[in-house]
Chains A and B, each alone.
Chain A
Amino acid sequence: MNFKLVMLWTDGMIFMLLAVAIAGACWIRQRPHLLLPWKRLFKSRIGMVSLLVLSLFILIGLLDSMHFRVALPDKNGNGQTVYATEVLSVFDALVGDLRSRTEKTYSAPLAVYLYAKESIETADGKILRDYPRLKHGGAHLTDPQNGQVVDVIKRSLYGVFSGWLGGVLLSLLIVSYAAARSRTKVRAWVEARQSTPLNVMLATMVLLAMLIGLTANLAGAYHVLGTDKVGQDVLYLSLKSIRTGLVIGTVTTLVMLPFALFLGIAAGYFRGWMDDVIQYIYTVLSSIPSVLLIAAAVLMMQVTIEKHAEWFSSSVERADLRLLFLCLILGVTSWTGLCRLLRGEALKLRELEYIQAAQSFGVSSLRILSRHILPNVMHIVLIAVVMDFSALVLAEAVLSYVGVGVDPSTNSFGTLINNARLEMGREPMVWWALAAAFGFMLVLVLAANLFADAVRDAFDPRLNRTGDA
């Protein structure tokens, strides 16, 4: 199959961030004094379990960030390859026909019949008002009345078992590989790590694998989380929303960091007029209630996007650029808090003896900033970045509700909630889309919050620790 790779702006940003993270990890690995707090982090049970859950989300987000366009079959026969206008991701390809198996309208989780009654023509020509069978959900059943429950249980058990098997095999593989690398027996390697969170992590991995197996096996024949108003699978929509949440949580920090870092350190270190100017700028920015500032900026961005329709070759690109602009706006409006923290820290650091010594040796300001100040504020930056992530994921939903969030065509938790919010009033109630969006968001944000706590505990030098390794 022929295809053409498509690199959206936010994809580029995500992979750049990934590259920076990997490079940073390699750099830190060789420096024991930098490695120390990370080792502390790796000893925290809650931290590692939440990191594992987060990695699953990140993996889905990364798979969903590799986009391509499939080549259409050559109809004209003139040898020119024409590509489909639809931009797909590797994730779409992996989940198979989950994307295309749409029903007519709502259907409950694991349902076999549609949510609404319809006129059905029976075999003998009569018109009947009844709930029609779904096109895809449980279509393989001949007698759903009796067979459905048994079929669902069978599939769940099979899915859980295969997930368990896969998880156990994977953990065995990892453990034996690690043991082989350190040239010890597997049993000895595991026993030496009784005090580390290894056991909990392996257990979590097996549990996650079981959950994935269960969902995957059921999703093959049913709509696990039901379908929405236009019949799209809610599970698919929720999984696609993860990428948007991750983009907003990470790219925004990428935008915010340069402002906060340079301005904060410069204000604290140089003081004088520079301090006054920078303080003035961030007081002005932070005095505007953030939702209003974001709303005003997004309204203006909409006008600009409307004006320059020629910038975008497809609606996907347009939605993507709008997402990027939203990150930019969020970043530009949210650097003030971290900037203030860094300024205070730089003010404190510049009075310390080693900085004064460097100054009296005639070391240039630029060198002092990069060699002495910057490394000593990095823990604040790291803590702030992980803390902000969960707040940004939650903010996206609120902004989309207010009408200044992502493009309505972008899958995100905000759009999902926004579309489903009036469905609670229906009779019988349509609860599954809301429940799915809130559930996924809760797991993502909870994992991020717990991980942020573990990072803060490991990196905050103010916490007095005993028995450090």
Chain B
Amino acid sequence: MIAYLIRRILYAIPILIGVNLLTFALFFVINTPDDMARMQLGMKRVTPEAIEKWKQQRGYDKPLMFNTVAAGAGKLTDTIFFQKSASMFVFDFGYADDGRSISREIHTRMLPSLVIALPTFVVGLLLYVSFALLMTLFRGTTLDVAGVTLCVLLMSISSLFYIIGGQFIVSKLWHWVPISGYAGGTDSLRFILLPVLIGVVAGIGSSSRWYRTIFLEEVGRDYVRTARAKGLSELRVLFKHVLKNAMIPILTGVVAVIPLLFMGSLLTESFFGIPGLGSYTIDAIQAQDFGVVRAMVFLGSALYIVGLILTDISYTVVDPRVRLQ
């Protein structure tokens, strides 16, 4: 198990290097730092001095990969690649355009993101699985057809509509909770209620339908017939046998996203004014803060790879036949 984990972590390194090289190529090779400076400072009437100053402030005034001027190890380290891309491996993300440390921002913004994303995830998962089980229980009846129709309808609605519509009905018409904002501590409950509710409702359609397909596939198997032949009630078959056997396909989709919960949701956070990583990312994209976007890309893929490893471990927990070697 330990050996397997070490191998998986070692396997993650080339992938992270790939992500790093890809973002480096995207941000520095396709367009030179000069182009970016000109874009940010306005296209016309930009003096070369202003561009030099912009580059110097951000540390982009170095050679890309190889510094011929520097001495010794400086030939490799005194470059944009080493200082901007390679340093991400030790989670040193540098500074945003407003001069703040990106690592510190990520640190403080992770909690609000998690406060929204975790309840959405847990409540959502429970609701979707129970709804799917219910549809499986009544499979082939009108209730099942109505459930599937509802799912297709719900998944055809834009996620923007859920947010805008939810804000309008719950906050503006009914005045139940504030429209947006965030506060720490117990006071935060008021603010997280609506985002969580909307996040859960927005996922009902696609997720419940997906789980229903998984359950239906399991229901058709031989062990289900055996269980029924033993005289087990349909409910017992579903909860004791089908649910347990469906765990592997469910976990495949679910565990991988748990680490990504830290990243928060772009749309929800920006609409509700939650100071999390999602709104941080969206602000950076809109302000064209390339440093922050690069940092988030790297962080996102690192978390995704952690998710993949966790998925493998979770298999051993639910299925004793799986041995990691």
Residues of B within 8 A of A446 (CB): 152-153, 156
Near A by CB (< 8 A), chain B positions 10-58 give 14-15, 18-19, 22-23, 26-27, 30-31, 35-36, 38-39, 43
CA distance A403 to B266 in the complex (A): 12
Near B by CB (< 8 A), chain A positions 418-465 give 421, 424, 434, 438, 441-442, 445-446, 449-450, 453
Residues of A within 8 A of B36 (CB): 303
Q: Is the CB of B39 within 8 A of A284?
A: no
Q: Which residue of B lies closest to A453 (CB)?
A: B152
Near B by CB (< 8 A), chain A positions 19-57 give none
Q: Does A363 contact B (CB under 8 A)?
A: no
Q: Is the CB of B260 within 8 A of A289?
A: yes
CA distance A424 to B19 in the complex (A): 41
Q: Is the CB of B26 within 8 A of A296?
A: yes
Q: Does B286 contact A (CB under 8 A)?
A: yes
CA distance A288 to B158 in the complex (A): 23
Q: Is the CB of B23 within 8 A of A296?
A: yes
CA distance A374 to B153 in the complex (A): 34
Given contacts A446-B153, A453-B152, contact A394 B266 (CB under 8 A): no
Q: Does A307 contact B (CB under 8 A)?
A: yes
Residues of B within 8 A of A300 (CB): 26-27, 30-31
Residues of B within 8 A of A449 (CB): 152, 155-156
Residues of A within 8 A of B297 (CB): 288-289, 292-293, 296
Residues of B within 8 A of A287 (CB): 15, 19, 301, 304-305
Q: Does B196 contact A (CB under 8 A)?
A: no
Q: Is the CB of B152 within 8 A of A288?
A: no
CA distance A281 to B22 in the complex (A): 11
Residues of B within 8 A of A302 (CB): 39, 288
Q: Which residue of A lies closest to B42 (CB)?
A: A306
Given contacts A284-B18, A304-B30, A441-B158, contact A402 B39 (CB under 8 A): no
CA distance A286 to B304 in the complex (A): 9
CA distance A349 to B281 in the complex (A): 43
Q: Does B157 contact A (CB under 8 A)?
A: yes
Interface string of B231-266 (1 = CB under 8 A from A): 000000000000000000000000000001001001
Q: Does B296 contact A (CB under 8 A)?
A: yes
Q: Is the CB of B152 within 8 A of A424?
A: no
Q: Does B293 contact A (CB under 8 A)?
A: yes
Interface string of A281-319 (1 = CB under 8 A from B): 101111111011101110110111011010000000000
Residues of A within 8 A of B161 (CB): 438
Q: Does A401 contact B (CB under 8 A)?
A: yes
Residues of B within 8 A of A283 (CB): 15, 18
CA distance A306 to B293 in the complex (A): 20
Q: Does B160 contact A (CB under 8 A)?
A: yes
Q: Is the CB of B159 within 8 A of A394?
A: yes
Partner of B164, one of A296, A404, A434, A441: A434
Q: Does A112 contact B (CB under 8 A)?
A: no
Q: Which residue of B lies closest to A309 (CB)?
A: B43
Residues of B within 8 A of A404 (CB): 285
Given contacts A292-B297, A293-B297, A417-B160, contact A398 B35 (CB under 8 A): no
Interface string of A374-400 (1 = CB under 8 A from B): 000000000000000010001001100
B230 to chain A, nearest CB (A): 25
Residues of A within 8 A of B152 (CB): 446, 449-450, 453
Given contacts A289-B300, A296-B26, A446-B156, contact A403 B35 (CB under 8 A): no
Near A by CB (< 8 A), chain B positions 278-319 give 281-282, 285-286, 288, 290, 293-294, 296-297, 300-301, 304-305
CA distance A404 to B26 in the complex (A): 15
Q: Is the CB of A424 within 8 A of B267?
A: no
Q: Is the CB of A442 within 8 A of B160?
A: no
Residues of A within 8 A of B26 (CB): 296-297, 300
Residues of B within 8 A of A280 (CB): 14-15, 18
How many of chain A's residues have a CB under 8 angstroms from any CB in B? 44
Q: Is the CB of B285 within 8 A of A403?
A: yes
A293 to chain B, nearest CB (A): 7
Q: Does B168 contact A (CB under 8 A)?
A: yes
Residues of B within 8 A of A413 (CB): 158
Residues of B within 8 A of A417 (CB): 158, 160, 164
Residues of A within 8 A of B168 (CB): 424
CA distance A281 to B23 in the complex (A): 14
Interface string of B263-279 (1 = CB under 8 A from A): 10011000000000000
CA distance A295 to B19 in the complex (A): 15
Given contacts A292-B293, A306-B43, A446-B153, contact A402 B285 (CB under 8 A): yes
Residues of B within 8 A of A289 (CB): 260, 263, 297, 300-301, 304
Q: Which residue of A lies closest to B293 (CB)?
A: A296
Residues of A within 8 A of B296 (CB): 292
B271 to chain A, nearest CB (A): 9
Residues of B within 8 A of A297 (CB): 26
Q: Is the CB of B156 within 8 A of A397?
A: no
A47 to chain B, nearest CB (A): 13
Q: Which residue of B lies closest to A444 (CB)?
A: B156
Q: Is the CB of B160 within 8 A of A402?
A: no
Residues of B within 8 A of A398 (CB): 158-160, 267
Q: Is the CB of A403 within 8 A of B286?
A: yes
Q: Which residue of A lies closest to B36 (CB)?
A: A303
CA distance A265 to B282 in the complex (A): 37
Given contacts A288-B19, A394-B159, contact A307 B293 (CB under 8 A): no
Q: Is the CB of B39 within 8 A of A306?
A: yes
Q: Which residue of B lies closest to A291 (CB)?
A: B266
Residues of A within 8 A of B172 (CB): 424
A456 to chain B, nearest CB (A): 10
B10 to chain A, nearest CB (A): 14
Interface string of B168-207 (1 = CB under 8 A from A): 1000100000000000000000000000000000000000
Residues of A within 8 A of B160 (CB): 397-398, 401, 417, 421, 438
Q: Is the CB of A394 within 8 A of B23?
A: no
CA distance A453 to B213 in the complex (A): 13
A401 to chain B, nearest CB (A): 6
B213 to chain A, nearest CB (A): 10
Partner of A402, one of B31, B266, B301: B266
Given contacts A284-B18, A421-B164, A434-B164, contact A442 B285 (CB under 8 A): no
Q: Which residue of B lies closest to A289 (CB)?
A: B300
Partner of A304, one of B31, B159, B300: B31
A277 to chain B, nearest CB (A): 11
Q: Is the CB of B294 within 8 A of A296?
A: yes
A304 to chain B, nearest CB (A): 6
A-B contacts, 5 listed (Cβ < 8 Å): A287-B19, A288-B19, A293-B297, A296-B297, A424-B164
A287-B15, A292-B293, A438-B161 are known contacts; what are 6 more A-B pairs with Cβ within 8 Å? A280-B14, A287-B305, A288-B297, A292-B296, A306-B35, A449-B155
Closest CB pairs A-B (n = 5) = A284-B18, A446-B156, A289-B300, A287-B301, A445-B156
